[in-house]
Amino acid sequence: MATLVTGGAGYIGSVMVEQLVEAGQDVVVLDDASRGHAGALDESVPYYDGRVGDRALVASICREHEVDACVHFAALAYVGESVTEPKLYFQNNVAEGLGLLDGLMSAGVKRFVFSSTCATYGEPVRVPIDESHPQAPVNPYGWSKLFMEKILSSYDHAYGLRFVALRYFNAAGATKKKGEHHDPETHLIPNVLAAAAGRRPYVSVFGDDYPTPDGTCVRDYIHVTDLCTAHTLALEHLRGGGQSEFINLGNGHGYSVMEVIETARRVTGREIEVRMEPARPGDPARLVADATKAREVLGWKTQYPELEAIVRTAWEWHEAHPEGYGTQGQATAG
Ligand code: UDP
């Protein structure tokens, strides 16, 4: 019995692999080496360099490693890029996802944990957002994830595929060994810490006239370890015969961009220069999760409910890995 983790060389996928290995579970990684980092791979874990949509490869990995469940992280996740290059997003996130599901089911694997997103809700009509909130994505990235959710529901009904689709709010933080390294980096916390470390001259704040207490956007930051714990619980839920579910993952607390910057000043003890810039198109003012269902259905408890602890773990990782995973970082087949 092993878990197939797609995107195991990426930010969240690499933490998932670390957590499953620490729990003594068998894991196998499939990653196409396009956006992950070789340094994020765990050398003790079998790794296949290939497309998740390669049905024959997926089926042969499942048979060889006795895979009984898949956690699917491998996807493109830049909102802005999805607007300018939608075909990349529908091809990678939907068409490749369909191939993955075919490959899994042809090998008899019918347990699936899916990385979904609060971007499937679009502009919120009420906050906090629970799972029954209307889904109306405002960009192709959000649509690509919502299409996958609909495909999963249909496959559950028709083929008995059981899945847990986890709708992430803002993943952040690091473990000792694994952290966040994107190129280009668009996320707030790594950018703020890069400014604290002097690797960026300043941090841009996108918009200061939102209808929030300080005018900057409010987000719900969730530690990557807590996020992965929910996936481990989702696997247990499915292996225990649980039904398919859609579940939000967030802390239920919102922090503004300025509060994140203030927290980073405190944690790092460094100056952080701020420049106000125009709002990014499509950024909602407030995204905060109602994560009651994750606690009730999965028994999920978070270890890092406070922003300060989340930022501290990210800072410790950046201090220990000033170049992230380095510049030769693209994953290659092992
Ligand atoms: N943000 C910012 N400066 C940055 C990066 C992000 O002001 O360098 C803002 C962004 O506009 C949003 C919030 O920080 O309101 C969180 O952005 P991020 O890209 O981290 O996550 P998102 O909520 O877009 O998924």
Determine whether the shortest distance from the Cβ of 91 to ligand 1 is under 6 A.
no
Q: 184 preceded by cis ω (within 30°)? A: yes
What confidence score (pLDDT) does residue 163 get?
Answer: 99
Contact 265, 272 (CB under 8 A): yes
Supply the range of the domain harboring residue 52: 2-171+222-250
Nearest C-alpha to atom 21 of ligand 1 is from which residue?
A: 187
287 vs 42, 122, 219, 314, CA distance in Å? Answer: 33, 10, 5, 21
Contact 277, 205 (CB under 8 A): yes
In the reported structure, the alpha carbon of residue 95 is separated from the centroid of ligand 1 by a whole-number distance in angstroms of: 28
Is position 285 within any domain?
A: no
Is position 278 within any domain?
A: no
Is position 60 within any domain?
A: yes
Is position 72 within any domain?
A: yes
* pTM given for the model: 0.96
User: For residue 326, what are its two tokens?
Assistant: 């380095």
What confidence score (pLDDT) does residue 238 get?
Answer: 98
Nearest C-alpha to atom 19 of ligand 1 is from which residue?
A: 187
Nearest C-alpha to atom 5 of ligand 1 is from which residue?
A: 188
Nearest to 225 by CA among 243, 205, 251: 251
Q: What amino acid positions are annotated as catalytic residues?
A: 141
Strands 26-31, 47-49: pairing is parallel
Helices and strands in the chain, H and E counts: 11, 14
Pocket test for ligand 1, best of 189, 219, 256 (most atoms within 8 A of CB): 219
Which ligand 1 atom minimizes the distance to the CA of 277?
7
CATH of the domain at 8: 3.40.50.720
In the reported structure, the alpha carbon of residue 295 is separated from the centroid of ligand 1 by a whole-number distance in angstroms of: 27
Nearest to 282 by CA among 3, 99, 83: 83
Is position 95 within any domain?
A: yes
Bridge partners for 249 per DSSP? 168
Determine whether the shortest distance from the Cβ of 205 to ligand 1 is under 6 A.
yes
Per-residue pLDDT of the chain (334 residues; tens, 9 = 90+): 999 999 999 999 999 999 999 999 999 999 998 888 988 998 999 999 999 999 999 999 999 999 999 999 999 999 989 999 999 999 999 999 999 999 999 999 999 999 999 999 999 999 999 999 999 999 999 999 999 999 999 999 999 999 999 999 999 999 999 999 988 899 999 999 999 999 999 999 999 999 999 999 999 999 999 999 999 999 999 999 999 999 999 999 999 999 999 999 999 999 999 999 999 988 899 999 999 999 999 999 999 999 999 999 999 999 999 889 985 444 433 3
In the reported structure, the alpha carbon of residue 31 is separated from the centroid of ligand 1 by a whole-number distance in angstroms of: 26
Residue type, 109: V
What confidence score (pLDDT) does residue 327 get?
Answer: 59
Contact 20, 27 (CB under 8 A): yes
User: What DSSP line would sit under 109-123, residue for residue?
Assistant: --EEEEEEEGGGTBS
Is position 117 within any domain?
A: yes
C-alpha angle 162/104/61, rounded to 5°? 135
Is position 295 within any domain?
A: no
Q: How many domains does the chain divide into?
A: 1
Tell me the three state secondary structure of residue 132: coil
In the reported structure, the alpha carbon of residue 182 is separated from the centroid of ligand 1 by a whole-number distance in angstroms of: 14
Is position 288 within any domain?
A: no
Nearest C-alpha to atom 10 of ligand 1 is from which residue?
A: 206
